């Protein structure tokens, strides 16, 4: 494949036959391939010991495609100064369902010094308080069958158990998902599950395994057929594992003293002790605004991020939400100028070269709303700051669900059934409809759901969204 590509396409300059496995990655979706795999590809030019074994937990489509291409895939950036590059970092790829024993072998191998995860918010199986949900069906299964897990948390526990039994030191385990305090959440979830079957193992994990916090950032739309077809014309060959993203990319990692973190620092990740600050700013500003834009943009009939942010009223409203309701609650972060950061985020949303569907951002909204917006709402209510825009965004999510229920579209959301039942109960009355959604404890912490200021802001926001649906601006 490589020698036939046009000259402008960059390709690995290292000898792929010399690669050695060093990383197991769980969840090789588009974001992993566009982000972490590109950093690792850079690292492999200096150190061949960090090749990735990519393991999919659910669908085997991506890993099958990657295997058929010897792990190679194309990364294309979109916008000014864009480039096209073949990434060679994935050395092996398979699905855990097809090869459970290969999965355990990879997780347990002494050469595996780092396990990374991009499994999205729902993959962590957390409850409304951010703890592992012991009643989640996959976790119930994994407690009964720790030797044949289904969840990512279950696989991690099984892999760590194998290492403990063999006297192999634990790897560094790194969440690369948009969760508040992702490293601590993952550590707590793994330890909690391990404790159900083996308290000795739980203690060993707590004492010996590092779970650094991270912040990952690069806008990565799904690879749609239009992108894949255009790339095929550019390359002269079809690549069904290709991914695209904006040029901007950032990986901030807690600077724990260990070999994998130092190696990622050499590959371009920023190592710092204040990942929490960076991650919270990114989650609340970028992801919070992204979700708000998606729900409100869809109410106005837009389909893509760049179109929605170009709407004068909506663009101004998102900027006000960030400036008046999100930035004032963020603690100072070294090396981060909040206003410049916010401006940069809005400029990135406006990139017309990226065809990023609002409906893609709206996937799994029930998991995203709490981590992206409700934490800010709770902080603002406590500090006496406004929640007008934040509540309107939450109301826009409710209306998104109501329209799905009325118009019969499927929701891509782990709470789909509960949401559609609630959506069908709604009558268009702001107070009644918002109260119906506030009953969902998986989404709204009870203390927040009872707060009268939040309830009235939500009702008003809901009324605003009803106007938007009719093409009127509040």
Cβ 435 to ligand CS2 shortest distance, Å:
27
C-alpha to C-alpha distances, 452 to 298, 430, 455, nearest whole angstrom? 28, 14, 5
Residue with tokens 């009127």: 472
Kindly tell me which of 113 and 368 has the beta carbon lying closer to ligand CS2.
Answer: 368
Tokens representing 356 are: 């990023």
Cβ 170 to ligand CS2 shortest distance, Å:
28
Tokens representing 268 are: 């371009």
Kindly tell me which of 163 and 282 has the beta carbon lying closer to ligand CS2.
Answer: 282
Helices (H), 118-251: 137-144, 152-166, 182-197, 199-208, 225-235
The binding site for ligand CS2 (CB under 6 A) comprises 178, 217-219, 286-287, 290, 360-361, 368
Residues 241 and 65 sit within 8 Å (Cβ to Cβ) = yes
Kindly tell me which of 182 and 287 has the beta carbon lying closer to ligand CS2.
Answer: 287
Cβ 440 to ligand CS2 shortest distance, Å:
20
Cβ 145 to ligand CS2 shortest distance, Å:
32
Kindly tell me which of 307 and 433 has the beta carbon lying closer to ligand CS2.
Answer: 307
Cβ 299 to ligand CS2 shortest distance, Å:
17
Kindly tell me which of 24 and 34 has the beta carbon lying closer to ligand CS2.
Answer: 34
Kindly tell me which of 189 and 361 has the beta carbon lying closer to ligand CS2.
Answer: 361
Tokens representing 341 are: 């950061």
Cβ 111 to ligand CS2 shortest distance, Å:
30
Kindly tell me which of 65 and 360 has the beta carbon lying closer to ligand CS2.
Answer: 360
Residue nearest to ligand CS2 (CB): 290
Kindly tell me which of 191 and 286 has the beta carbon lying closer to ligand CS2.
Answer: 286
What DSSP designation does 331 have?
Answer: P
Kindly tell me which of 278 and 290 has the beta carbon lying closer to ligand CS2.
Answer: 290
**Nearest-angstrom CA–CA distance, 29 and 61:** 10
Of the candidates 183, 180, 237, 244, the residue with the CA atom closest to the CA atom of residue 210: 183
**Nearest-angstrom CA–CA distance, 371 and 391:** 14
Cβ 290 to ligand CS2 shortest distance, Å:
4
Cβ 345 to ligand CS2 shortest distance, Å:
9
Kindly tell me which of 191 and 369 has the beta carbon lying closer to ligand CS2.
Answer: 369
**Nearest-angstrom CA–CA distance, 123 and 118:** 9
Kindly tell me which of 219 and 378 has the beta carbon lying closer to ligand CS2.
Answer: 219
**Nearest-angstrom CA–CA distance, 101 and 474:** 57
Residues 193 and 139 sit within 8 Å (Cβ to Cβ) = yes
3-state secondary structure of 305: helix
Angle at 384 between CA 382 and CA 385, to 5 degrees: 110
Kindly tell me which of 293 and 299 has the beta carbon lying closer to ligand CS2.
Answer: 293
Cβ 130 to ligand CS2 shortest distance, Å:
18
Of the candidates 400, 331, 388, 390, the residue with the CA atom closest to the CA atom of residue 362: 400
Cβ 350 to ligand CS2 shortest distance, Å:
14
Cβ 36 to ligand CS2 shortest distance, Å:
12
160-173 b/e (C-beta count within 10 Å ≥ 16 → b): bbbbbeeebebbbb
Helices (H), 350-387: 358-361, 365-369, 375-383
Contacts for 11-16: CB closer than 8 Å, 24+ residues apart = 11/85, 11/86, 11/88, 12/41, 12/44, 12/45, 12/86, 12/87, 12/88, 13/45, 14/44, 14/45, 14/48, 14/88, 15/48, 16/70, 16/88, 16/91
Cβ 198 to ligand CS2 shortest distance, Å:
35
Residues 176 and 215 sit within 8 Å (Cβ to Cβ) = no
């Amino acid at each position: 494949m490589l020698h036939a590509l046009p000259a402008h396409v960059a390709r690995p300059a290292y000898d792929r036959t010399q690669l050695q496995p060093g990383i197991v990655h769980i969840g090789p979706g588009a974001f992993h391939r566009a982000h972490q795999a590109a950093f690792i590809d850079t690292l492999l030019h200096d150190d061949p010991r960090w090749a990735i074994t990519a393991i999919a937990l659910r669908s085997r489509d991506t890993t099958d495609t990657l295997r058929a291409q010897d792990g190679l895939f194309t990364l294309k950036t979109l916008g000014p100064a864009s480039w096209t590059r073949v990434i060679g970092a994935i050395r092996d790829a398979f699905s855990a369902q097809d090869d459970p024993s290969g999965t355990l072998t990879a997780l347990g191998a002494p050469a595996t010094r780092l396990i990374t995860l991009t499994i999205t918010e729902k993959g962590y199986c957390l409850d409304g308080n951010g703890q592992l949900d012991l009643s989640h069906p996959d976790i119930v299964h994994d407690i009964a069958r720790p030797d044949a897990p289904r969840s990512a948390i279950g696989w991690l526990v099984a892999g760590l158990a194998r290492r403990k039994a063999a006297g192999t030191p634990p790897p560094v385990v790194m969440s690369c998902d948009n969760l508040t305090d992702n490293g601590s959440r993952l550590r707590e979830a793994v330890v909690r599950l391990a404790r159900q079957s083996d308290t000795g193992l739980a203690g060993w994990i707590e004492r010996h395994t590092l779970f650094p916090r991270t912040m990952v950032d690069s806008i990565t739309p799904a690879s749609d057929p239009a992108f894949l077809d255009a790339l095929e014309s550019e390359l002269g060959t079809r690549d069904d594992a290709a991914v695209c993203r904006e040029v901007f990319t950032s990986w901030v990692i807690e600077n724990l003293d260990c070999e994998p973190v130092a190696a990622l620092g050499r590959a371009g990740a920023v190592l710092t002790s204040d990942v929490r600050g960076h991650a919270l700013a990114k989650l609340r500003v970028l992801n919070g605004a992204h979700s708000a834009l998606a729900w409100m943009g869809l109410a106005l009939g837009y389909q893509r991020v760049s179109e929605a942010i170009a709407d004068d009223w909506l663009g101004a409203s998102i900027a006000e939400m960030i400036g008046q309701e999100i930035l004032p609650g963020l603690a100072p972060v070294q090396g981060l100028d909040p206003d410049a950061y916010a401006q940069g985020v809005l400029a990135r949303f406006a990139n017309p070269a990226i065809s990023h569907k609002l409906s893609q951002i709206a996937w799994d909204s029930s998991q995203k709303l709490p981590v992206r917006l409700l934490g800010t709402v709770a902080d603002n209510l406590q500090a006496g700051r406004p929640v007008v825009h934040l509540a309107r965004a939450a109301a826009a999510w409710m209306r998104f669900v109501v329209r799905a229920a009325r118009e019969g579209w499927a929701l891509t959301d782990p709470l789909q059934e509960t949401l559609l039942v609630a959506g069908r109960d709604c009558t268009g009355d702001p107070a009644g409809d918002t109260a119906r959604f506030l009953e969902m404890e998986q989404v709204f912490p009870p203390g927040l759901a009872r707060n009268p200021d939040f309830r009235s802001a939500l009702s008003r926001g809901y009324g605003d969204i009803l106007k938007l649906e009719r093409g009127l601006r509040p």
